[in-house]
Structure 1
Amino acid sequence: MLACEIDAVVVDVLGTLVDEPAGICAGIRDLAPSLADLAVDELWQLWQRHIDSEQRRILDGSRPYTASDGLDSEAAKLVADAAGIDDPAAVDALALSGRRLPAWPDTVLGLARLAERFPLIGLSNASRTALLGLNAHADLRWHQALSAEDARTYKPAPSVYKLAVAVSGAPPERLLMVAAHAWDLRGAQNLGLRTAYVARPVGDPPAPSDRFDLHAENLADLADQLGDPIR
């Protein structure tokens, strides 16, 4: 049974435990309440494209490391400009919307069930400050929460997953990486971690060639597959 081979569970945050599009879209609606849903979605896509492209530039070395707070501020300015909003205070508020993301309905109970059996480590591309606010807002509970900021890069760089390996004190093959993003799991897999895909509406589903250890419908299903703690 896989659970007997695991010393700690490492869980992605953005998209896996919290609904990132919903939180950012709520911030965009606060910025410009008159926008139609289609326009809000287009602005969210603009936000996400900027974050993705800038993280890739950091990963390939074409841009110096910038923490997620800085990237969110840039994205907020792009969105505000596209919406025709010229209010620095409103832009600053939008930039902080990434710290107010709602948890998926199964997240809090699912984390609690996993934490009953395993040391639980959150591993996020969010900055340390953003992760603190996000954890508090969404009521995420961990034994340890780690930010990619400590590696000064972003997942899927190996150095980010090494943060969890170092903290756990266990070899990579004794850690289970949980994420709704196949690209994240591939990054962990490349370092030797075991992997569990959790389906989310906003995730990156596995390709036919992916071979992850577990596939779960949600965190409750994952907890079921890993079994109850030994009393």
Structure 2
Amino acid sequence: MPVLEIDAVVFDVLGTLVDEPAGIRAGIRERAPALADPVVDDLVRRWQDHIEAEQRRIAGGDRPYVASDVLDREAAQVVADAAGIADPAALASSAWRLPPWPDAVAGLARLAGRFPLIGLSNAGRTALLRLNAHAGLRWHQALSAEDARAYKPDPAVYELAVAVSGGPPERLLMVAAHAWDLRGARGAGLRTAYVARPVGDPPASSDRFDLHATGLAELADRLGVPVR
């Protein structure tokens, strides 16, 4: 397969480069160490379900836009109420204390030797700054959906990356572990690469993404980036 002709690589962050459920799980464990594993797993699902439901309401016009920090505080309150955790504000900080996947930092460094890298996240500006610092992620540019006052897969979010790149969308490659994110990017004209993660949203049989990779090392190989 020929190497894609692209000018920059755009990365989703949550789930693609950092393990979001693991960070939330660790935050709950820190404040409620006696909880059984199935209970903690259920609380993590409640957190993520709240975020997804509220983002859908915002996308549907049923709620005005609020940044991810607000939604994380709400989700932390839901979990704190269910688990009897006394400090939901401290629990909310789990949303940016997310561990990187084992290949994330080295993979970004390798790709950065060939392409400009753009982070494009639904995380708000403050949360994105903190989670990038915590996980050790390095970018040429990090963009928050807060600047579009929308959440992916709204086209306005992908347009942030297109505007920054200064080129046409078909010269950008969107990388994500979520098929829904890649469908949105493809609808905005970007090229697409699915990277498999345990917590991602795998492609359906009808999806036609440009690249599929098991991780960032394989993605770099497919893009013709040498090992440094």
Instruction: Output the TM-score relative to the length of structure 2.
Output: 0.97
Shift of residue 2, structure 1, vs aligned partner: 3.1
Q: Which residue of 2 aligns with 1:49?
A: 49
State the one-letter code of the partner of 2:110: R
Give structure 1 regions of 4+ aligned residues with deviation exceeding 3 angstroms: none
Alignment of 1:122 onto 2:128: no
* Distance across 1 between alignment mates of 2:195 and 2:91: 29
Gaps of 5+ in 1: none
* Distance across 1 between alignment mates of 2:220 and 2:67: 32
Cα deviation code 1:201-225 (max 9, x no counterpart): 0000000000000000000110011
Alignment of 1:131 onto 2:107: no
Shift of residue 84, structure 1, vs aligned partner: 2.0
CA RMSD of aligned residues (A): 1.1
Alignment of 1:206 onto 2:203: yes
Shift of residue 33, structure 1, vs aligned partner: 1.1
Q: Which residue of 1 aligns with 2:183?
A: 186
* Distance across 2 between alignment mates of 1:138 and 1:84: 29
* Distance across 2 between alignment mates of 1:12 and 1:42: 25
8 Å CA contact retained: 1:177, 1:196: yes
Cα deviation code 1:140-180 (max 9, x no counterpart): 00000000000001000000000000000010000000000
| Alignment equivalent of 1:143, drawn from 140, 144, 151 | 140
Alignment of 1:29 onto 2:29: yes
Shift of residue 93, structure 1, vs aligned partner: 1.0
SS state at 1:195 partner: strand
8 Å CA contact retained: 2:3, 2:224: no
Alignment of 1:215 onto 2:212: yes
8 Å CA contact retained: 1:31, 1:91: no
State the one-letter code of the partner of 2:78: L
Q: Which residue of 2 aligns with 1:159?
A: 156
Q: Which residue of 2 aligns with 1:78?
A: 78
Q: Which residue of 2 aligns with 1:170?
A: 167
Cα deviation code 1:87-126 (max 9, x no counterpart): 2xx2111101111000000000100111111010000000
SS state at 1:117 partner: coil
Instruction: Output the TM-score relative to the length of structure 1.
Output: 0.96
Percent pairwise identity = 76
State the one-letter code of the partner of 2:173: L
| Alignment equivalent of 1:98, drawn from 90, 95, 111 | 95
* Distance across 2 between alignment mates of 1:218 and 1:175: 19
Q: Which residue of 2 aligns with 1:108?
A: 105
Q: Which residue of 1 aligns with 2:192?
A: 195
Gaps of 5+ in 2: none
State the one-letter code of the partner of 2:58: I
State the one-letter code of the partner of 2:3: L
SS state at 2:174 partner: strand
SS state at 2:139 partner: coil
Shift of residue 30, structure 1, vs aligned partner: 1.4
